[in-house]
Amino acid sequence: MAQPKYLTGDKAGIEEFIDKFDAFLFDCDGVLWSGDHLFPKVPEVLEMLRSRGKQLVFVTNNSTKSRADYKKKFDKLGIPAKVDEVFGSSYSAAIYISRILSLPPPKNKVFVLGESGIEAELESENVPYVGGTDPSLRRDITPEDFAAIADGSMLDDDVGVVLSGLDFHVNYLKLAIAFAYLRRGAQFLATNTDSTLPMAHAFFPGAGSVGAPLVKAIGREALALGKPSQAMMDAIEGKFKVDREKTCMVGDRLNTDIQFGIEGKLGGTLMVCTGVNSKEDILGEGKPVVPAAYVDSLGDLMG
């Protein structure tokens, strides 16, 4: 397998690389920022790409935020972006449920294990839901709950989908309810299955870990609608009309971002070393997922 090209400090190589593409898909966490820390020269790089006529799409697996929430985060960090340039796994899941799964109402209700970002995107597609940020579920499970979940009196007969995402308020009660719906035959979807979440220069449990109790309990994986699921790539291609040959995926994580680009048969993939994976994971023989090129950090594209 070809070794990835190292572009940091290689002015000519950078020029040549950028010239190959009309569109850049960016992962956000670990690429543009880590938590609330903006990486150096990120606005400049995006500005430079825009000035050269490139289409930018911000593709994120972070399901806690809606596209509108993401826009606020971009504004706060001083990164110029439009709501329509943001494509999140919550939005991807909402589109899948409303347009592809198309369950007949009223049996199309979704039980959400996740935060308000998922709720906002479901609302944008007019998909009814329960759970999510419902304050009545943010408490300890009681003996009465066990009985009411077991006999179904606490469950909503219209729930046909369990959608699992990153939930900072996960608890046993919500897991027990979600598991009961799955046992009753609900479809099992996940916004994404990232095992970890880069934050504050460290790693925390990701959406895939938060939803892991459901996978373990029911004994099967969820259908994931985030990277590297190609359902998300198809939706991006449909919405932004990008030419895959002339599109580059930029990310920090090999098994989501880079794999997403490779499986999507994009013209290129670029890894940054400011997130989950490092050079050691891509250099040498026998590495399972390798980008076309890599830089130490996104700002290095300024040359």
Q: Which residues bind a second copy (CB under 8 A)?
A: 35, 140-141, 146-147, 149-151, 167-172, 175-176, 179-180, 183, 195-196, 199-206, 208-210, 212-217, 219
Kindly tell me which of 127 and 182 has the beta carbon lying closer to a second copy.
Answer: 182
CB 232 within 8 A of CB 89: yes
300 classed as catalytic: no
Closest CA to 232 of 197, 251, 256: 256
d(CA 92, CA 61): 9
| 32: Cα separation from own chain's centroid | 14
Q: In sequence order, which residues have a C-beta less than 8 Å from that of residue 236 and are 6 or more positions away?
A: 25, 57, 59, 87, 242
Kindly tell me which of 102 and 142 has the beta carbon lying closer to a second copy.
Answer: 142
CB 77 within 8 A of CB 46: no
Kindly tell me which of 132 and 264 has the beta carbon lying closer to a second copy.
Answer: 132
* Position 89, amino acid: S
Shortest distance (Å) from residue 266 CB to a second copy: 27
The catalytic position among 10, 19, 22, 140 is 22
Shortest distance (Å) from residue 201 CB to a second copy: 6
125 CB burial (10 A radius; 0-12, 13-18, 19+): middle
Kindly tell me which of 8 and 133 has the beta carbon lying closer to a second copy.
Answer: 133
Active site residues: 22
